[in-house]
Chain A
């Protein structure tokens, strides 16, 4: 028997879309035949705003892209600017940056796990995840006074040095987290309902996943052994021992397991960073390309210049953010403001694969698959 196809709107305001995203689902009974995604409800014109700000002024705007993990956003932009301007960064600043990046990766995965399980109907994980996240946010607060929008990593280094008592508190967090991850696995990984909802759901082949532009942990669940920290090393990652976490099953469960593995790997990196943290200044004090209108640079500057002019040119620089490949394309025309900033956001490109992934599945499976892709709408709409 043939039934009529039905158009169902899911969103824009729906709890499991983690923001304002709208799915237009063409349903054949309970089966999704076609999935259209409507977005842009959170578009703030970040790229246009960037053209009107100086290089330093744009840093806080990057916080608002992926607000769950703002440090990687800061860093990706700053890295592009530093490559463009040829800024040398002190080693201590690089170590502090890696520390924040990995801490933020754990926070991101905690939120992802929590919201995934909440969408599937289990509310324990979000309580547990947010409990540990609170400890990490307190560390961030110690570091820069903010809990979510940091504005901490800046061209030339970081804003401030590590505060007193930070490292002992971080060590406590690391020690606590190790046991917590075991708890999470006991809670989730063996749960029969969870496995039924995740295994063999949202399957897409590795070739398709690449073609649809998936990156990051979502792609590593498809057996693609790739990690930008490994293949295009940046910062101090070449000196650190870690591995790219890969799973081969290509389904939602594999993408979930990659996150669990990555949290362990991040803890491993954090431990090394704490041990190897060098002494020194957290900011470069080189006098680099100060704009003529600000006058002659003083003989000794105590901070990196707030206004500087990279030479004309363009750069595309990308990092392994918690959600995938985050890149900034920055074009300089030799003035104090960037000529053009283009943001390659991981959430936007990962979302491309969803319509293909959910064809022939049911709406609850869409929620499960969508949860494992881990998007933040601030990052999608920019």
Chain B
């Protein structure tokens, strides 16, 4: 049976819609129920969280989880839609350890906050960076300069006039 339909039967109130992402079963779910459904998804044998994608659609954020089950050789896609003003969702770090970095990356580049994440800070960009680059309203006209501080920490500033090279 299609795992997306299975989830819909188990949680009829939480699933907004089911469908396909090209050829993978997809279930769009309510953001409040992500943790309960994720627990069930793990029980169903989806042991590999392959990817977390955050997308800025200007009026909303979408966050997409691609799961794979090594035992059943099945795919499952969960999609959560978030408000643009308050992009916040529960962390899946407790169920899939790989979510730790994937969520940090999504936070870093898209600016979605993950409730309950043990160490939610930037991973690719230096701490102190202004803005989240993969947002559509990110201002690319502002240069940001990163220098190394006394203790090896990154210092970000928008003023590059005192640097040797621009």
Structural contact, A327 and B48, CB atoms closer than 8 A: no
Chain A residues with CB under 8 Å of B87's CB are none
Chain B residues with CB under 8 Å of A339's CB are 55
Chain A residues with CB under 8 Å of B47's CB are 207, 210-211
Structural contact, B70 and A210, CB atoms closer than 8 A: yes
Also in contact, A211 and B124, with CB within 8 A (given A48-B133, A327-B50)? no
Given contacts A210-B70, A316-B77, 16 further A-B contacts (CB under 8 A): A39-B123, A212-B97, A213-B97, A213-B98, A231-B73, A314-B22, A316-B64, A316-B66, A325-B50, A327-B66, A329-B53, A329-B64, A339-B55, A340-B134, A352-B101, A356-B97
Some 23 contacts from A to B, beta carbons below 8 A apart, are A40-B123, A43-B124, A84-B22, A208-B97, A210-B47, A210-B70, A212-B98, A213-B97, A316-B21, A316-B24, A316-B77, A327-B51, A329-B51, A329-B66, A331-B55, A340-B53, A340-B55, A342-B53, A348-B105, A349-B102, A351-B101, A381-B124, A382-B124
Per-position 1/0 for A66-93, Cβ under 8 A of B: 0000000000000000011000000000
Structural contact, A47 and B49, CB atoms closer than 8 A: no
Chain A residues with CB under 8 Å of B56's CB are 340
Structural contact, B98 and A313, CB atoms closer than 8 A: no
Structural contact, B125 and A9, CB atoms closer than 8 A: no
Chain A residues with CB under 8 Å of B22's CB are 83-84, 313-317
- Cα of A190 to Cα of B126 in the assembled complex, Å: 44
Q: How near does chain B come to A376, taking the closest CB pair, in angstroms?
A: 15
Structural contact, B124 and A40, CB atoms closer than 8 A: yes
State whether the Cβ of A18 lies closer than 8 Å to any Cβ in chain B: no
Chain B residues with CB under 8 Å of A382's CB are 124
- Cα of A231 to Cα of B97 in the assembled complex, Å: 24
Chain A residues with CB under 8 Å of B105's CB are 348
- Cα of A366 to Cα of B96 in the assembled complex, Å: 23
Chain B residues with CB under 8 Å of A314's CB are 21-22, 64
Per-position 1/0 for A203-220, Cβ under 8 A of B: 000011011110100000
Q: How near does chain B come to A184, taking the closest CB pair, in angstroms?
A: 30
Structural contact, B73 and A47, CB atoms closer than 8 A: no
State whether the Cβ of B5 lies closer than 8 Å to any Cβ in chain A: no
State whether the Cβ of B100 lies closer than 8 Å to any Cβ in chain A: yes
Q: How near does chain A come to B92, taking the closest CB pair, in angstroms?
A: 11
How many residues of A are counted as interface, with CB atoms below 8 angstroms from the partner's CB atoms?
40
Q: How near does chain A come to B20, taking the closest CB pair, in angstroms?
A: 10
- Cα of A213 to Cα of B64 in the assembled complex, Å: 16
State whether the Cβ of A45 lies closer than 8 Å to any Cβ in chain B: yes
Those 3 A-B pairs whose CB atoms lie nearest each other, nearest first: A213-B98, A40-B124, A342-B53
B 71-118 contacts with A by CB, 8 A? 73, 77, 96-98, 100-102, 105, 109
Instruction: Kindly name the residue among B56, B124, B133, B138 whose own CB sees the greatest number of chain A CB atoms within 10 A.
Output: B124
Partner of A315, one of B21, B97, B124: B21
Number of residue pairs spanning A and B whose beta carbons lie under 8 angstroms apart: 89
State whether the Cβ of B141 lies closer than 8 Å to any Cβ in chain A: no
Structural contact, A352 and B97, CB atoms closer than 8 A: yes
Q: How near does chain A come to B163, taking the closest CB pair, in angstroms?
A: 18
A 189-212 contacts with B by CB, 8 A? 207-208, 210-212
Chain A residues with CB under 8 Å of B73's CB are 231
Chain A residues with CB under 8 Å of B13's CB are none
Q: How near does chain B come to A81, taking the closest CB pair, in angstroms?
A: 12
Chain B residues with CB under 8 Å of A211's CB are 47, 96-98
Structural contact, B50 and A344, CB atoms closer than 8 A: yes
Also in contact, A342 and B98, with CB within 8 A (given A210-B70, A231-B73)? no
Q: How near does chain A come to B124, taking the closest CB pair, in angstroms?
A: 4
State whether the Cβ of B149 lies closer than 8 Å to any Cβ in chain A: no
A 206-260 contacts with B by CB, 8 A? 207-208, 210-213, 215, 224, 226, 231
